[in-house]
Each structure stands twice: as structure tokens, then as C-alpha cells.
A and B are shown apart, each in its own frame.
Chain A
Amino acid sequence: MLSRACRRGIVTMASAELPSSSSPALQFQVLAQQGRARTATMKLPHYTAETPMFMPVGTQGTVKGLTSEQMQELDCHVILGNTYHLGNRPGPELVAAMGGLHSFINWPRGMLTDSGGFQMVSLLHLADITEEGVTFQSPVDGSRMLLTPEESIGIQNDLGADIMMQLDDVVPATNTDLARFEEATHRTTRWLDRCIAANKRPHEQNLFPIVQGGFDVGLRQLSMQQLIARNAPGYAIGGLAGGEPKDMFWRVVAQCAAGLPPGKPRYVMGIGYPLDILVCSALGADMYDSVYPTRTARFGVALVDTGVMKLKNAAFAKDMRPIDESCSCMTCRQYTRSYLHHVVTRGVSSASILVTYHNVAYMQGLTRRIRQAIKEQRLPDFSRAFLAGMFPAGNVPQWVVDALDVAGISLEGVAKLKPAHSFYEEVQAVQRIPAV
């Protein structure tokens, strides 16, 4: 069955056998699968991205200190812009007059904008959600304002990103009121319909729904059913990365990744820890975004396979090695931990740019390695080696052991703990696969 091409490390199977989809502004083609994981190409109006993919966040139209040229050097395919921030400054009309966000910031590749809803709820006092939309106090003059699904899409149409997110009814992950989650599930679907109706550019911009349902299996199932019926180009899994226990987090990702159409991209919002990205990719997710790598860089924290390196620590004052000897990024090729330690402790702003550069390089390198491992049918080995490096004493957390078990990856020999979940009983819709 395996062709010679396969033994060389390239899986060539007839495209018809692998999941794919074609929407007006997005073509998704899975190139290889292993277990629940897959690696794919996603053709967007501005760029053809490869998944699994990490998207750095360029909140206000810039990824903290890095130039557009550097972001391309770093092999970023898609970056995020925050509608809330950009909607305030410089404002959608100005961005539209400048030819859209791509043109305004001179970023030629893929762009994704969020709906603005999450920031409002998390950043603003007195943000209130009604059927109409999200009411809040304007940060400029304190007056009462309302962000409706229509307005969110209107702003996002002006920004012109390749992918737009629907305005969803976001319930904080730490909420325990099931009725509230149920309300949010249904309202999100109603808001999706309003978003779809309001989208003035369906052939140039993709609109992704966001699966809700909190941590209730039934609600998540219901949400997925309703959103899938709208036949969107791709789907996001929302309501996570909000401080919930990891044990609950992976179950939702597992259920939703398995329940969403295989030929379309699955985007888990707010995920940025390398460990989480590995687990979610193993479970079948494709896209991630987070401020974590770039934010932690500004605190002098560098990302490496074994975990984090806190460069402000005095131990690095005399350490003449690069952050990561196996990393070929500019920062690791030219600078030592000692130099970085001294400049980050002084708060020199360009110092944080050097660490940011490395952290973005790290995330892109990680997702590249995951994609390659899937193509070469060795994701389980890769995962085991990665976790062995991160947890040399074998103390891999229970949630990781459980999640990877559901993903079909055994951590025997690497983790002290054994799988101890009852996921398949809880979520009967998901078929068991053997762990290798």
C-alpha cells in the first residue's frame, strides 16, 4: 500500500481519498493524516497557508515590534488583527480608505480578524450582552455603545481580512450556569445568521462560525449541528482558553474536532502554549492564535522545547550559549543568553524584539515540525520525544496522557501516568481509535 514515495517521507495518496472542501474564498486540502491529526493546505485570497498553523497576534496592526519583512522571514502565513482595537484606532473607514488592512500595514499574506466581542467582554467595564448585541461603554467618551453582529461584520468587511469571525455570545469559561451556556449556544447561531446576512464580501472574505456549548457534551453537539448546517468555509471552537481546567479543555477540543466536517479547517481560538498546540493538533485541530509567545517575550521569557527560559534570571548573565542551539533564527545565530539577559533586565525595548523574534520563530518551527511529522507518518514518535524532553522525569500531566490517548498516541515509556478517562462513554459520537 505504501508507495516508494511514502518511504522517502512523502505521503502521496490520491487527493480524492483525503478530505477537502472548496468554498468561494477558501480551498482546504488535507495532504496527509495520522490518527486524528492532519496536515493540509488552506488557499486563502491572499495566501496559501499550511496547517497545523500558529497565527501570531498583531493586535493593533503590528506584531509587537517586528516588521512585516521579519514576519515573512519567520514563515508566518496568517496573522491576526483585533477588530476591537483597530475599530477604535485607526477606525474601519480609514482602513478601508487605505485599501484594507493588508495594504495599510503592508502585510501580503493571510489575515484573520476576530469579531471584537471577546475583547469587549474582557476589557471593558459594564459590557452587557443582549439579543441585540454587546452593549458597552465607549472607551473614548464613556457613552453607551452597541456592537451588533451586523456592525462587527461591517467593520471586518472594511478591514478586509481573509477570514472573519462571527460575533458570538461569549460566556466566561469559569461560569457554571448551564442555562447561560444554553442561551449562548442558541444566540450564537442566531447571531451567525445575522453575520452571514450582513457579509458584503462573501467571495473575498470567509466567515467562520464559533462553536459554543461550554463544557456540556449535548450543548456542544447541538451547537455544531446548527453551525454545520450553515455550510461555512471553516469553523472555530470557542469558549476555551479562559482559565478552565485542562481536563475539561481537551475534552471539548476532542469532541469538536471529531464532530466538525473533516474537509474544513478547525480553529481553536486563544491557544498558544506549545504543549496545547501539540495536543490539539493530535486531536485534529488546524489553526491556533495567541498573544502568549509575543507577550511572554516582552517579559524576557524565551520558548524552547523543554519549556521556558527566563532570561532575566541571573543564571544567564554569563551563559554564552544561544537561547536554543538547534534554532537557526537570527536571534539564536547572533546573540548569547548573556547578552540578552543584560539587555532584557535593563528594559531596553529592542531587547524584547530579539526575544519576540525567537519566540515567533519557535512557534513556526514547532508547527512545521508537527506538519512534517504527520506527512512522514511519525507523529506518535515526535510527540513522545517532545514530551520526554519537556518532562524528563516522566511527570506528564494526566490531561495530556488522556488527551493523547484519545488522539491515538500512547505515552508508554514517557509518562508515568496511564490514561484514566472515560471520554468515549461521555461522548458516544466519537469513535475510538487505537493508541500507537
Chain B
Amino acid sequence: MDKLRPDAQMVQINAMQFIHLPSPDIIKSFGRSVHHYLGIPSWPVFASNRDPTMAEYFSAKSSNNTAVYATLYTGGTQVTPERYMQAIAALQPDMYVALADEVPGDARPKRVGQSVDRTIKWLDECLQHHQATQQQLLQQQQDEAAAPLPDPQLFAAVMGAGSEQERQRSAKAAAERDVAGFALCGFGMGEPAAARPALIAAALQHLPADKPRVVVGLATPEEVLEAVAQGIDLFDCSYPTHATAQGYALCFPLQPQQEQQQQQQQQECADADCGADDSKLNLWSLQYRTDKGPLVQGCSCFACRNHSRAYLHHLLHTHEMLASVLLELHNTHWWLGFFGAIQEAIQAGQLQQYIAWFKQRRQGLQQLPEGLIQAGAGKGQSWHKL
């Protein structure tokens, strides 16, 4: 993890993994927060209500009015707000999302309404548990020596699936509560990528501008850019994780100046028909067998500084673990570099130009249908198929 500094600033975990094994009791008996338990004491932790890198399937069992049905490693189990908040209290993350009733992208209107209602109800229950825990801690502190109180920041979950109306309703209700931020949930659940911007916009209409917003489950750089332009602040790293799993090394240019370099690379690629595109290299391709160069020329990550494409190619073909170690390092580094470029563009007042350049570059190389480009979908859909 240290190799990803300074760009990496926070680690995301899935709160659901701490419901059963290891249970809140086990973490409590450890005596320190999840940061220490996971061996990342110097990293802020964001606890989500689900894992964006996992393709979740929906079982016949579903949630009900009192609990989410969560599929854990140990099997399925009902998770009530109380149980969820016990885990959060034990973990003491820096930020977390309240328990939410997630539904698939094609859920029926009645089910979507239900998920909005339940999530609001559970938000209130989570808030109650949160306040009770904080009071307890305060009392304990008065009794013992004072170390700074852990103060996990609660993010309300904004639901609504594919319905703009429900998105608005959910956002309004969440905004009325005293929360630290908002998590726009339910993306990457099988809904059409082209529909996402409108859904995000619908929710954002009713959210205060001075509190952070996180979206988990967007698929591509273009979607991220679209969401940034709309006003989203926090994103996850499922894109580089998926790329790693498939043996891809991300290489999309982060700045217009890098474009020429990339064009050269892509020319090689296009000739070889190696299953890649201008945003990622397919290291499985035989064309990299004897390539002594780094994954991406000029990249300062550990993998690129120390190893060659030929070596990564060899590691993939021999199914060696080190392949994913090195690729994950590179891909995460690259993805975080992308966010660095976005921040610079915003600070320079050039975000729209940056977005226009980025989209146009892809469009130029791929001749995508106009409608898809407008929606910022790009190759987004294909990730869910792979």
C-alpha cells in the first residue's frame, strides 16, 4: 500500500465482511480499530455497505422490512441496522455508509419504492445506534485516560434504482437528516450505463453542496468524469481491480501531452489485433513475449520501474500470483493518477476542456455511436459482460 502514496489517500472496505467472521466481538477483543486489525494503521478507512469489486448475484431470498439479506463468506444472513451498527462500532472506520436496501437495476417500481422507504427507516435507526455508541464512548472517556474519540462519519445511502422520481425522493429524505455525507447507491447493479448520469443528477438536485458525495460501482473513466462534472467527490477502485483480474495494464493517456506516446503504442496494438484498446494493454497477448519495455513508458509505479512487459506476460501465462500483485500496483497507481489529473483540471478551471479532450480521444479511435458517447458510456457495458 505504501507504494501507492501519495496518490492513495483512503482504503475502502466492505462492512458486511465484519458481520460474522470476524465478528464485531472478535474485533472488539482485538481492542483497536479495523485500521490496526487490517495492518493499515496509517490509512483512513471508508466502510461501504457492499463490495464494488464483487459481482453480486441476487438469491431467491431477499431483504425484508427489518433486515438486508447479505451473502457472506459463511453463507447468507439477515443483517438488521442493529447488527450492522455493531460491526461499525467495532470497526471504527473514518467514514461509513448506512445500511441500505440495494435492488437490481431492473427492479419493478414497487420494489424500488420499497427500497427507498426501507433505507430511510434504516438510516434513522443507524443514526440512533450511532448516537448511542458515541455517548457510550464519551462516558467511557470520562472514566479513563483521554485518547481522541473515534468519530465515524455516517454517509446516508441514496437509493432509487432506475427511477429519477425515486432518486429525488430518496435524496430529499436523506438530506433532511443530520449526516456527514451521501452515498449514491445502486449503481453497477445491471442498469443501463447510459441512464446513470440522469439518475445521479436527479439525486444531486436535492443534496446539499457542502457535504461529500460518493458513488460506488461506476465502470469507466468516462463515467467517472461525467460524475465528477455533476458534483461527485469520492469513487472506488473497482475499474483497476477488474482490469487486473483480466490481465490488462491500464494505459489511457492522462494528459493531452501523453497522447502521442499512446498513439504509437496503439498502432502496434491495432496491427496485432490483440484484444486491447487505447485504454489498456492485454498482457496475455503474444506480442509482449519479448518486450523488454515497462508496462507503460514513463510510468513511475513499482511494476514499471522494476519489470518488463515480457516478465508480466510470462507471469500471466504461468498463472503466477506475482502477476496480479504487479498489475494491481500499476493499475491502481494509474487510476489514482487519473484522479490527480482531474483535480489539477478542476483547480485550473479546465474541467470541461479536459472532459471534452478525454471523450473525443476515445471517440476518435473507436467511432462510437453518438448516443453512447453523450452518456459517457464508452466501453462501460462490456465490463459487466466479461
Contacts and interface: CB of A to CB of B under 8 A. Distances in A.
Contact of B325 (A65, A85, A89, A336): A65
B204 to A, nearest CB: 36
Looking at A62, A336, A338, which has the most chain B CB atoms within 10 Å of its CB?
A62
A148 B73 CA distance: 50
Given A336-B37, A346-B73, A349-B321, A69 B306 contact: yes
Contacts of B73: 346
Interface string B288-302: 011010000000001
A85 B29 CA distance: 46
Interface residues of B, number: 29
Interface string A308-347: 0000000001101000000000000011101100100110
B384 interface: no
B38 interface: yes
A232 B315 CA distance: 34
Contacts of B324: 349
Interface in B103-132: none
The DSSP consensus for interface residues of chain A is helix
A248 interface: no
Nearest to A350: B325
B138 interface: no
Interface in B269-328: 289-290, 292, 302, 306-308, 310-311, 314-315, 317-318, 320-322, 324-326
Given A68-B306, A320-B30, A346-B73, A339 B39 contact: yes
A13 interface: no
B244 to A, nearest CB: 12
B315 A62 contact: yes
A98 B22 contact: no
Contacts of A317: 21-22, 26
Given A67-B326, A68-B306, A318-B26, A104 B311 contact: yes
Interface in A279-316: none
Q: 3 tightest CB-CB pairs across the interface, nearest first?
A: A65-B321, A334-B39, A60-B318
Interface of B: 21-22, 26, 29-31, 37-39, 73, 289-290, 292, 302, 306-308, 310-311, 314-315, 317-318, 320-322, 324-326
24 contacts: A61-B314, A64-B320, A65-B321, A67-B302, A67-B322, A67-B326, A89-B314, A89-B318, A90-B314, A94-B289, A94-B290, A98-B310, A104-B308, A106-B307, A106-B311, A317-B22, A320-B31, A334-B39, A338-B26, A339-B22, A339-B37, A342-B21, A345-B21, A349-B321
